[in-house]
Amino acid sequence: MKSPALAALFAVVAAGSLQAGSVDDGRSVQTAPTSESIFDRIWGIPKLYRNDHNPVIEEFDIIGRLHEDYFDLESNRGSTSFLETRRFRLGVDAFFVDRHVEVEAEVDTALRTDHSPSIFYNRLSNLWVRIEGSEAFGIRFGKFQPHFGYDRAFSNNYMKTFERGVFDDQLVGSTDYLSGTEVSGKVGNFGYLAAIFSTNLNKELGRFDGGQAYLAEINYDFSKDWQAEKALWVIDYLHADGKNANTNVFKNYRHAFATYLDLEKGRFSMVPQFAYGDQVTGKGDVYSFQIMPGCKLTEKLELLVRYQLAVASESNGITTLNRQQKTVGAFTGDTYNACYVGLNYYVYGQKLKLMFGEEYARLGGGTGPSAGYHGWTTLVGLRLFF
């Protein structure tokens, strides 16, 4: 394993004298900068226009993200290591009519190293319009990410781990941007969301002939009651209907349920989640539990641990492993355990961070030659967005 060398590399970089003003991104507690830093000036360059006094268009920005990953995997099914440009996306974001209307468009590239042919245009990831009449009601339509469970609660720019959880892999997989319409809002401490998506997907908007998926969410904000920076309890439900030969999204699930608490208070954070999925005939049910405690060791350095457990009612009911594990094959089983330990160093808040992670995963049970997997994965990465 290359783990000690990679861990040492991360420690040296994280402990370096990178000094920057912090960014308040609304997802983690950061100290406000006392003056504009070099990072503030650099990240201000893509903001091409802003005038809150203009009643027609208030802001126009270039947006993008660059995610670089290196991983080293050793398992009973083989070993592999790889350096890749995990995500490189470019687009625009604009606000109109006193910020009641937002339009976003983003193109996803596929610039890889050794993993697949490199192409600039891979797909249209985001293309949507959101109209917000008030805090209590807003509507969005176009192509965007379904908001199901903690792993889909926000953009991958803000993820504290390299990969989403096993239940999300089972349910959503790589089909992370779908065409549809959603309404959402907040009334007092209560929030809600309801959406309908097409279950036929291609690189653009899809053909809308593969059936539908319906998503509903209700949440409650406890942050004031608990005197916490964040304390949000969420319940999500998903139903996929109308499956046919053109269905290529949520095709293995009929019903899915997830509930989680997203808590941040002082230096500490905690996210427990329970999820359940009713799969199509022959695949049985899947039950999942994950818990992720975290602690800010310093203003910029965060330690976190995530444990995952998934159990299927059928012997081969769990069939999907994460991105790195798939490089040595696809395997099946009925019980999945994984433990991840990570360090995140926030150079410029969430907008520029370094990540290190180590994960052990075991998939047990199952029948046939593809049954079972266990292995270690070491990951080092950079996350940048603007």
Per-residue confidence band for 30, with pLDDT thresholds at 50, 70 and 90: very low
Q: pLDDT digit string (tens) for 1-19?
A: 444 444 444 443 444 433 3
- The full 3-state SS of the chain, as one line of letters, equals CCHHHHHHHHHHHHCCCCCCCCCCCCCCCCCCCCCCCHHHHHHHCCEEEECCCCCCEEEEEEEEEEEEEEEEEEECCEEEEEEEEEEEEEEEEEEECCCCEEEEEEEEEECCCCCCCCEEEEEEEEEEEEEEEECCEEEEEEEECCCCCHHHCCCHHHCCCCCCCHHHHHHCCCCCCEEEEEEEEEECCEEEEEEEEECCCCCCCCCCCCCEEEEEEEEEECHHHHCCCEEEEEEEEEEEECCCCCCCCCCCEEEEEEEEEEEEECCEEEEEEEEEEEECCCCCEEEEEEEEEEEECCCCEEEEEEEEEEEECCCCCECCCCCCHHHHCCCEECEEEEEEEEEEEEEEEECEEEEEEEEEEEEECCCCCCECEEEEEEEEEEEEEC
Is the pLDDT reported for residue 246 higher than 60? yes
Is the pLDDT reported for residue 250 higher than 60? yes
pLDDT at 115: 61
Is the pLDDT reported for residue 173 higher than 90? no
